[in-house]
């Protein structure tokens, strides 16, 4: 079943066409996004299944594990199939499970990109994203090192994560920003203004936490009623809502389960009516 093989394409940076429903690799490492998964073979299986079912956009980060997620992706998929886009991030450091600290010093960011190249076994990273802006380092220095790496042929495109419209505008003064990755889902729309700006400017918007890690998938969730009417699951409805919200949205639901993966990708085939969208809009 190749549910993601619909004609719904977004071209990242104008030259990396991907199907809009991707796969987020944050859940591959152990608890707290720390260390090895309990079932590494299962993690490899779900990554391979994503590509087999039509996913051609995978989002990860150096800090997931750290490095565990990137290594699993490389072990599962290298040499990568043609057309697969693997995006990663740098700028968050790890001091233990669930602990994340921004570090944006240029030498550190450069080191992390060099390590990601090795862990992913690539010569160029398709999309490098600044995972968080470090408030102690000038933004021009943080994005500037990505621009240098791009000029050296080690990075293709640059994105940012968890930014305001003002910060996104400031970033675009420094480099060509092709994607923004913010927390956004059916029940948390604090980044609506960023999505509106990205839509107007044709910038890819990658909503992380797209189904609120299961909250929206619960049988008693706000979307359950609409899901029953559409003979779909709450997760599929939540993802379909994101896909219909704007043509620049690239949801990246993550899972350790092949069954959940298949269910999530079914959202690409789900069409919500204007009335469905209005009812869902009213839930926030």
* Tens of pLDDT, residues 23-54: 999 999 999 999 999 999 999 999 999 999 99
1 within domain boundaries: no
Report if pTM > 0.85: yes
- Cα angle at 212 between 210 and 215, to 5 degrees? 135
Print the domain residue range for 116: 9-281
**Residues forming the active site:** 64
Computed over every residue of the chain, the mean pLDDT equals 94
DSSP secondary structure string, 45-82? HHHHHHHHTT--EEE--TTTBTTHHHHHHHHHHPSPPT
CATH of residue 136's domain is 3.20.20.100
Name which of 239, 120, 124 is nearest 186 in CA terms. Answer: 239
Domains held by the chain: number: 1
CA distance 253 to 274: 24
260 within domain boundaries: yes
pLDDT in tens, 57-103: 999 999 999 999 999 999 999 999 999 999 999 999 999 999 999 99
121 within domain boundaries: yes
14 within domain boundaries: yes
Place of tokens 């009516």: 273
């Amino acid at each position: 079943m190749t549910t993601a093989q619909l004609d719904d394409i977004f071209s990242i940076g104008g030259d990396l066409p991907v199907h809009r429903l991707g796969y987020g690799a944050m859940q591959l490492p152990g608890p707290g996004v720390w260390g090895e998964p309990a079932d590494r073979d299962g993690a490899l299986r779900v990554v391979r299944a994503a590509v087999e079912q039509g996913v051609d956009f995978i989002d990860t980060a150096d800090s997931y594990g750290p490095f565990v997620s990137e290594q699993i992706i490389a072990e599962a998929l290298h040499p990568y199939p043609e057309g697969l886009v693997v995006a990663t991030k740098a700028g968050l450091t790890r001091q233990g499970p669930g602990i994340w600290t921004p570090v944006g010093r240029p030498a550190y960011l450069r080191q992390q990109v060099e390590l990601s190249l090795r862990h992913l076994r690539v010569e160029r990273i398709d999309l490098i994203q600044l995972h968080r802006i470090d408030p102690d380092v000038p933004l021009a220095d943080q994005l500037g090192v990505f621009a240098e790496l791009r000029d050296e042929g080690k990075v293709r495109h640059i994105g940012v994560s968890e930014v305001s419209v003002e910060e996104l505008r400031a970033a675009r003064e420094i480099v060509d920003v092709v994607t923004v990755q913010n927390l956004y889902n059916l029940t948390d729309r604090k980044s609506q203004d960023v999505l509106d700006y990205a839509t107007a400017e044709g910038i890819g918007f990658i909503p992380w936490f797209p189904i609120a890690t299961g909250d929206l998938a619960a049988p008693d969730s706000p979307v359950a009623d609409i899901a029953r009417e559409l003979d779909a699951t709450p997760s599929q409805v939540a993802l379909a809502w994101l896909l219909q919200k704007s043509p620049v949205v690239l949801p990246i639901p993550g899972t350790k389960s092949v069954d959940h993966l298949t269910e999530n990708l079914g959202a690409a085939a789900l069409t919500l009516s204007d009335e469905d969208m209005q009812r869902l809009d009213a839930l926030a």
